[in-house]
Each structure stands twice: as C-alpha cells, then as structure tokens.
Chains A and B, each alone.
Chain A
Amino acid sequence: MSTTPALPDVVYFNLGRVWTMALNTLIEMTRQKVFYFMIVFALLMIGAASFFSIFSFGEEAQYITQLKFIKDTGLGAISVFGAIIAVVATAQLLPAELENRTIYTILAKPVHRLEFLLGKFVGVALLLAISVTLMGSLFLGVVFIKDQNLSAATYHETIEAAEGAVAGSPDMKPETKQKVLAEARTRAEQGAAEIHKTAGYQDIVKAMTTTLFKLWLVAAMTLMLSSFATSMVFTVVMSAMLYFSGHLVPVAQKFYATSKAPLGQLMAGVVNWFLPNLAAFDVADDLFAGDPLPWLKVLKILSYGLFYLLVTLTLAHLIFREREI
C-alpha cells in the first residue's frame, strides 16, 4: 500500500550534517596522501638545522643567530607549505564534487547548501590544523634539540676559555683565578639562558596560531572563488593572486596614504579596503627582530582573521546558494 509521508514545514540547519561532511572531506583528502608533504618538510627542517650551523653572522653571538635563522626558516616553511595545501586542497573540492556527481547525491538528500559548504570548509580547516600541528611539532622538536646542543656548547666553550686563560697565567693569584672562573660560570649560564630565550617556545606556538588563522582565511577565500568558478585552474590562479595581494596590503596602505596620483590611490584603496592584510598574520619577522609578542597582540590578529573569515564564508554562501548545479 502506497503512503504519502507526513512532512514537517521546515528542516533546520544541523551541525551534525556539517560535521559528517567535514569528516568525509578530511578522510577523502587524507586518503589522497596529502600528508606526504610532511616528508619534504622534515627534510627541509633537518637540512636547515645542519646548514645554519656551518657559518656565522656578524657581531651577534653565532649560536643565537643560528637559532634565529632556523626559527625563521621553520615558520616561513610552515606558512608556505600551509598556503599551498590551503589553496590546492580547497580549489579541488567543488570541481571534484561536480565531476564525480557526488554533489547531486548529497544535495538530493535533506541537506542545506550552507551545511554542504561549511562542511567542506571545516574539513579543510581540520586538515590545515592537523598539518600545522604536525609541522609545528617537528619544528619545535628541531628547535629544542638545537637549543639543548647550542646552550650546552656555549656553556662549555665559555668555561673552557676561562679555564684556559687561568691555566695560561701561572702567576695569577688563587683568589683571582676563582673569581675569573666564577665570572665565567655566570657568563656561561647567562649565555645558555640567552639561547633558551631565543628559542622562545611560547612565541613559536603563538606564531603557529596566527599562521593557522591565515591559512584558514586563505582556504575560505579559495572556497569563495570556487563557489562560482567553473575551472579549478581559475580558482588556483585567482587564489594565488589574492594570497600575494593580501601580503601587499601594508604596501598599499602606505601608498594610499602618500600617493597623489588618482589611479594609484584608487588601486591602493581597493586593495586596502577589500583584501585582508595577510601580512598581519606573519609575526616571524617580529620574532626575528627580537620584538615581544604579547598575547593581546595575538588575540587582536586572531579577531581580525575571524572577522574576515566570517565575511568571506558569508560571501561564499551567498554565491553558492544561487549556483545552478
């Protein structure tokens, strides 16, 4: 006997369906062996750790400079690798859905388009969070080992130098000898402490957090582009352009403030008002310069990222809602 089902008036937005979509997206990308990039990252980090130990820089204590360069390379690599994953992984999401016709079977179920789109984004966001955590852990491990080795080396070198000086001066009074050695110990401890400080594990975690927010924003921008694009190449090229333009926002701001040419002002204004300042998320330069990075500043950066993230995802939703599939 045939039946006509009793249907409710409305199907509400459901986070469970978003989560189902997100996990499915993550599983799909994981099984496509996206994490193979970790091998390249690991090799890069090991290479950087050994490369920067073979030469010294200027007047600054050699070991501190080494550590700074390793940190700068690591944070830069996390940012670049992450951006590549954010753009490429996100750009292929919707084209793959259309090509495989899976989007038809999903949207033929009681699923809101917003749930579908958010699910895709959350899936990529999880992938990026896992990637940054994996790269960050590896990076922290390299910095920790380097920190231990360099601080031990500094300590021993300072002590040995003092002991050598004392041994080379047979007519030095015993009290003076003891004083020199005690001073050397203090200097050695200070040197080791300085290296520990340069390692700055908390700052690394802060820098990785702001980087992750930047990557989420890049992924959201890519998703927004692919919500109306008909080709993956277009999405990748446009996302890359947005990525680089986003990093040029401070330059545009400067130009906007100083330029008198109308066209230049207009262009700089467009970049300034419509693009998020992606350079604001890059705190590695501040760390390299030795500037402090208080949590308040980090929170400001994260709030800025969150605002643009919501704006970008809303735009993506408004476009995708109207798209004919």
Chain B
Amino acid sequence: MTPAIEIKGLTKRYRTGLRRETVLALDHLDLRVEPGEVYGLLGPNGSGKSTTLKLALGLIRATAGEAKIFGKPCASVVSRLHVGFLPENPYFYRFLTGAETLMFYGRLCGMSGAPLSKRVDELLQLVGLTNAASRPLAGYSKGMLQRIGLAQAMVHDPQLLLLDEPTAGVDPIGSKEIRDLIIRLRAMGKTVLLCSHLLTQVQDVCDRICILNQGRKVREGRVDDLLRDQKRLCITVESLPEAARAQIAEWVEDWGASVVSIENPQTTLESLFLDAVKAQQPPTPPNKP
C-alpha cells in the first residue's frame, strides 16, 4: 500500500543573518506513515517538527532528500489534494465569520453550493461552534480559533491531517474533545500526523511516535513497545487485605525477584480535573470566549 507520508533522507539547511551562516534544521530524516495511522512527532522546540511539516506541505524546499504524500512529490500541488493542515496558533481572517471562513476554504478545495453549505454546518456542529457561526473570528477565543482551524483542515474531507499543536491554548475539556476527535478520525480510516508537546495526549492517541532532537530522529516505534519496561511487572488488584501484602512480598523474594514498590495507583490530573469540572458544569463546551 502507498504510504500516506514517505520521507527519505530529508535534510534542510537554513541560511540566516547577514553572514549567511547555515543552520541544520533537519538531518537526513527517514519517516514512513502508513494510511490509517495516528503518528506522533515529538521533540523539543527547534527539533525540526515544524520544518518537517513545512517540507511535507511544499512551503519550503529540501536541501536534500525527498518527501512524498500518497506517492506524490510534496512540491506538487496534487500532493495536497487530500491533505488538511492546522498550523500552530492559527489566527485566520479576523473579519470573516466562522461560517464564511469554512466556506472560503471549501471553495479553495473546489467545493460549492449546497454540498459545501451542508459540510460547513456539519463541521461547525462537529467542533461545537454552531452558535458562533455568524460571529467574526476577531471575537473568538484561542480555543475557538483552534477549533475553527481544525474544521477548515477537515472541510474537504481529506485522508491525511497534519495537526501542529492542535490543543495549544485549549482548555482541558476542549483538549479532550480534540483528542476524542482524533480517535474518531482514526476510526474513520483517516491518517493523522500530530505534533504536540503534550506527551500524555500523544501517548493516548498515537499508534506510533517519532522523537526528533536537533533535526535527527532519536527514537521511533509503536507507543506500547517504546513505553513497555520488559524487566518490570505491574499487577493491579482490588480489596487486598494489608496482611496479604507482606506474604506477597515474601513470595516474590522466594522467586529471586524483588518488590520495587507497593502503592495505590494514582489517577491522572487530567481525569481528576475533568471529573471535578464536569460535576459542576453542563457537559457541552461553551462557545463564548
């Protein structure tokens, strides 16, 4: 099967300043994202994530190597027929309303008439902005802009979505909704390339990840495989009496192993936050900034 994204030996050098000094932003990167995968691109600031995305979208040219989307070279317009992109911290046209923004992007993708209007309504509902559809984006909150950004990326129902920090500036409820949306997109057979600093989120939604550092790939693989500690074992039990703990520890030592810790499992802060907030508020997200 043709990979959704195929990157081979991709290198990018920037020339900066008056002296035209070169900065190596990406160093011989190899990457392959299969159709239907949710792939996470991780790395500290300046590690080459955004450069990889820009190269994949043909916004900049590679110094060496090649990148293809669904088998088409990234420099060609045809490679972007089935791509939706959400940049980091998008602003969009401040004077257009939410609905007008989606209509505009839809028209650029060759859509028109009733099918486009229907699609715009669907997307506004999907990202929870139906009530704000006729308001100019100048009055949108950061989270709302992020959601309209996601909607524009999906307007032409692309097979591949490139999302750069999709939850930046979004509150935990909105963040969870975006995470759920990505999971839903995977169920629909879409491919998602996700750049994020939120490691928990990446861990929750991604099938595979790649960690970049200083323009180089330092790790790549399935999330489960990378996170599994083969030497240690964790057993979660319920209603175990206190006295039994000592017996278990003895039993483990009889087998030549050692108990590293016995403790109550903790929930995540996100779950705690969501439970606490949802107990107080109606479940639908607010549209007002």
Contacts and interface: CB of A to CB of B under 8 A. Distances in A.
Interface of A: 1-5, 7-11, 14, 16-17, 20-21, 24, 27-28, 31-32, 99-102, 104-112, 324-325
Contacts of A111: 77, 80, 108
Contacts of B36: 1-2
Nearest to A9: B78
Contacts, number: 127
B11 interface: no
Nearest to B84: A108
A5 B82 contact: yes
A28 B101 CA distance: 11
B213 to A, nearest CB: 23
A14 B111 CA distance: 13
Contacts of B84: 108
Contact of B35 (A4, A32, A104): A4
B10 to A, nearest CB: 15
Contacts of B87: 101, 104-105
What secondary structure prevails in chain B residues at the interface with A? loop
B276 to A, nearest CB: 34
Contact of A20 (B1, B86, B91, B108): B108
A109 B108 contact: yes
A106 B59 CA distance: 11
Nearest to A30: B95
Contacts of A109: 80, 83, 105, 108-109, 156
B81 A325 contact: no
A2 B189 contact: yes
Contacts of B39: none
Interface in B36-58: 36-37, 54, 57-58
Interface residues of B, number: 54
A5 B81 contact: yes
A30 to B, nearest CB: 8
B196 interface: no
Q: Identify which of A8, A14, A20 gathers the most chain B CB atoms within 10 Å of its CB.
A: A20
B78 A7 contact: yes
Contacts of A106: 105, 108
B105 A105 contact: yes
A112 B159 contact: no
B4 interface: yes
Contact of A101 (B70, B89, B94): B89
A108 B107 contact: no
B181 interface: no
A104 B57 contact: yes
A112 B109 CA distance: 11
B59 to A, nearest CB: 5
